[in-house]
């Protein structure tokens, strides 16, 4: 099974709370990738709960920092939740391996998502914070 190896040089976005959420995502995805049949659904559920919170937090950051063009990012998050819901349904139907397959897909997804959409969000929040220090009202 493909596991995500966290690397600061590749994954850290210099945003403390976002980096913490991403490290938790990596740990839970790897735990699902390594899950024995009997624990797949429980570990997938943990990852789903994490993703709901993680994505809701990022949405709040996008909104409070008034980031333009967020629809693509939100759609990408929705795609992950749909993938996990579908895998959960397969597991409930007795299809062992569906959770591990989802973890494999998410390992590939995460590198791309973090390096593009999340990196853009982290950069935007840094710019807004900087603008705020310059007296330009940017965070509402």
The contact mask relative to Fe ion for 49-78 (x = CB under 5 A, - = no) is ---------x--------------------
Q: Is residue 62 classed as helix, strand or coil in its secondary structure?
A: helix
Is residue 105 within 8 Å of 83, Cβ to Cβ?
Answer: yes
118 sits near Fe ion (criterion: CB under 5 A): yes
Q: How far apart are CA 114 and CA 105, in angstroms?
A: 14
19 sits near Fe ion (criterion: CB under 5 A): no
Nearer to Fe ion, 43 or 77 (CB): 77
Stretch of residues binding Fe ion (CB under 5 A), selected from 27-35, 85-93, 99-107, 110-118? 110-118
Q: For residue 87, how many other CB atoms are within 10 A of its CB?
A: 26
Nearer to Fe ion, 19 or 40 (CB): 19
Contacts of 37 (CB under 8 A, 6+ apart): 96, 97
Nearer to Fe ion, 53 or 85 (CB): 53
Minimum separation from the CB atom of position 108 to Fe ion (A):
15
Strands (E) across 20-123 are located at: none
Given the rule CB under 5 A, which residues bind Fe ion?
Answer: 58, 118
């Amino acid at each position: 099974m493909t596991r995500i190896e966290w690397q600061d040089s590749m994954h850290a976005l210099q945003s403390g709370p976002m980096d913490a959420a991403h490290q938790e995502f990596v740990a839970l995805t790897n735990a699902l990738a390594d899950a024995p049949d009997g624990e797949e659904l429980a570990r997938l559920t943990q990852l789903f709960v994490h993703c709901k919170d993680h994505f809701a937090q990022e949405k709040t950051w996008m909104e409070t920092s008034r980031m333009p063009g967020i629809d693509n990012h939100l759609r990408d998050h929705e795609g992950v939740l749909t993938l996990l819901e579908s895998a959960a349904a397969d597991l409930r139907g007795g299809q062992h391996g569906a959770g591990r397959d989802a973890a494999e897909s998410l390992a590939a997804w995460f590198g791309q998502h973090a390096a593009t959409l999340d990196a853009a969000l982290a950069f935007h929040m840094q710019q807004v914070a900087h603008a705020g220090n310059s007296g330009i009202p940017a965070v509402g």
